[in-house]
Amino acid sequence: MGATKAVTDASFASDVLKSDKPVLVDFWAEWCSPCRKVSPLLEEIAGEMSDQVTIVKLNIDENPETARAYRVMSVPTLTIFKNGEPVQSIAGAKPKGELLKLIESAL
């Protein structure tokens, strides 16, 4: 998977909520074509900003509890978490500049 990491309902608390640095969660699904457009951008950002932010991917079909808990209604939904709390979310495939703004909102 490269610079991003897959998380599950079981690992979400330890990987995201207890992280020392901000975490961008990509709520995605296998059948979602906009998700496939965002994925390479997230890999790129993860490689460039690994010292500042962790980027993880959560498949909503395989992990419905977490998706439900954070009211994910469409995919992709990208949510930045800091200190265990969601800071900001955006839905839909966005250009790299908008993804960077989302991350910067938690730095």
Enclosing H/E stretch for 26: strand 23-28
Pick from 46, 44, 45, 70: nearest CA to 58: 70
The answer to whether 32 is a known catalytic residue is yes
Catalytic one of 16, 23, 32, 58: 32
Q: Please state the φ and ψ torsions of residue 58, each to the nearest 5 degrees.
A: -125, 115
Q: Which of 7, 25, 35, 103 is catalytic?
A: 35
15 is catalytic: no
Number of C-alpha atoms within 13 angstroms, CB side, residue 63?
24
Task: Give the residue numbers annotated as catalytic, written as ranges.
Answer: 32, 35
